[in-house]
Structure 1
Amino acid sequence: MTWLGPQEWEAVALSLRVSFWATALSLPLAIAVALALARGRFPGRHLLNGLVHLPLILPPVVTGYLLLLTFGRRAPVGAFLENALGLVLAFRWTGAALAAGIMAFPLMVRAIRLAVEAVDPRLEQAAATLGAPRLWVFATITLPLILPGIIAGSLLGFAKAMGEFGATITFVSNIPGQTQTLPTAIYGFLQIPGGEGAALRLVAVSIALSMGALLASEWIATRVAQRIAGK
C-alpha cells in the first residue's frame, strides 16, 4: 500500500487494530449470549434479545453519546476505570474499539445463535445422560458443531467494526493517529479541499477489506462445516 500517504496508512492500521480487539473482546460474551438466547428459558429473555439488537436500531450517534455519558472521564464508570485501572476510553483508540464492538455485537450474536439453534439438542442430551459434565459436553459436542457460526459471526463483526462511523466519531472524535479510523478518515478528507483523492483511496481499501472479510467468512465456515460432516 505504498500508494497510501502516512496519515492514510495510520488510519488503515488503526482500523485493523480497533476491529481486531473489538471482535476478540466481544466474542466470548457473544457466544454466551447466543447460547442463552438459543437454549435458555428464563424471565427477561425477550428483553435481553431486544437489548442485544438495540444498537442495530438506534442511530449510531445515540449509541456514541450514551457511551460518552457512561465512559467519559467525568462519568461514573469512566472515572472508576481511569482511577482503578488506568484505563481511559473517551477520545482514545480503546474507546473506538469499545464502540465498534458494541455495534458489531448483534451481528455476532445472531450468527452464533443461528448455529446453536441448528444443533440437535438430543446430541447434547445423550452425552449428558452418559455422565459427561455440562462444560465437557459444550467443549466436545456443541462447540465443534457451532464453530462455522462462530467464525462467520467473528468475521462479520470484524467487517462491521471496520465500517463503524457514527458511534466512534461521537465517542472518541476524529484525531489523526489516535482515533482516526478508515471511515472517520474518509469523512475528514472529504471536508478539506483536494482531499477527494485520499478519500477515494481509502474507500477502495475499505471495500477490499470488507469484501475480503465477507468472502473469508463464507469460505472458512463452509470448509469447517464440510470437515465436521466428514466430507
Structure 2
Amino acid sequence: MTQKVVVIYSGGMDSFTVLHKAIKDGYQVFPLSFDYGQRHKKELDYAARVCKQLNVHHKIVDISAINQLIGGSSLTADIDVPEGHYAEESMKQTVVPNRNMILLSMAVGYAVSLEADKVYYGAHSGDHAIYPDCRPEFVQKMNDVSAIANYQPVEIYSPYLTVSKIDILTDGLKMGLDYSQTWTCYNGREKACGKCGACQERLEAFEKNASSDPLEYES
C-alpha cells in the first residue's frame, strides 16, 4: 500500500513544487490548504484547480476566526502590503503571528487521523530573514514536539529548508512544472503587483533560472 503524506499547500509556487515532489517521491498525497483570512485568498483558487487536475483529495479549512486573536499583519488586516525585497525590514509587516506553528499543528493532527507518516512543508532559506517560523531551528523543534505529541510520530519534512526559491524553481522546471498554475502575490488582485516581497522574490527566481514567469503583472 502506498504511504500517505499530508502536504501543506497554499497554492503558491513553493508549495506547488513541494506537492509535485511528494508525488514524485511515490507518496499518496493529501494536500491541505488554509483560509486564514489572507488578502491573497486567490491562491486557494489556484490550489483547488491544481488538485482537481491531479485528482487528489484536497481540503481547504477555514481558520479565519483566528484573526480575532492574532493581528497586525498586512496579509490579514487593512494595512498596505509593503513593497520591496524580503531582505527589507518593512517586510516584517507581512508576518502573521505564530501562523506556521498553528498550520503545522493542524497538519500533524490530520496526518495522524490519516495514518500518514509525514507532513511536507515548503519553508526555504529565503524566508529565514523575515519569518522566524520558517527557520531550521523552528522546524527542528516542531519535529521534536511532533514525535511525542501523539501515539503515532509524524515527521515534518521540509525538502527545501536550506535552499532558496531560485533552487526550488530550478527543481520544479526540471520536473516540467507549469507555474502559471500558481499564485504568489500578496495582493489578491486580477494581476500580480510585481512590487511586494513575494513578487520580487518570484521574479528573481525566474530571472536566475533564465526563464520567463508565465503570470501577468501590473508593472
Fold agreement, TM-score > 0.5: no
- TM, length-normalised to structure 2: 0.28
Larger Cα-atom Rg: 1
- TM, length-normalised to structure 1: 0.27
Select the structure that is richer in helix: 1
Select the structure that is richer in strand: 2
